[in-house]
A = this chain, B = another copy of it.
Amino acid sequence: MSFSDIRFFPRVTIEQVEEGNELAPKFDEHGLIPCVTTASHNGEVLMLGYMNAEALKKTILTGEAHYWSRSRKVIWHKGATSGLTQKVVSLRIDDDQDAIWLSVNVIGDASCHVGYRSCFYRSVPTGEGPDVRVLNYEEKEKTFDPKAVYGDAPNPTIL
Closest residue of chain B to A87, judged by CB?
Answer: B126
A residues 1-32 touching B (CB-CB < 8 Å)? 1, 5-7, 9, 11-14, 17-23, 26
Tell whether, in the assembled complex, residue A47 and residue B131 are in contact, meaning their CB atoms are under 8 Å apart.
no
The interface on chain A, measured as residues whose beta carbon lies within 8 A of the other chain's beta carbons, has a size of 68
Closest residue of chain B to A49, judged by CB?
Answer: B99
For this chain, the copies found in one complex come to 2
Tell whether, in the assembled complex, residue A48 and residue B99 are in contact, meaning their CB atoms are under 8 Å apart.
yes
Tell whether, in the assembled complex, residue A135 and residue B47 are in contact, meaning their CB atoms are under 8 Å apart.
no
> In whole angstroms, how far apart are the Cα atoms of A45 and B44 in the complex?
10
> In whole angstroms, how far apart are the Cα atoms of A111 and B126 in the complex?
21
User: Which of B62, B123, B156 meets A92, CB within 8 Å?
Assistant: B123
A residues 44-75 touching B (CB-CB < 8 Å)? 44-45, 47-48, 59-63
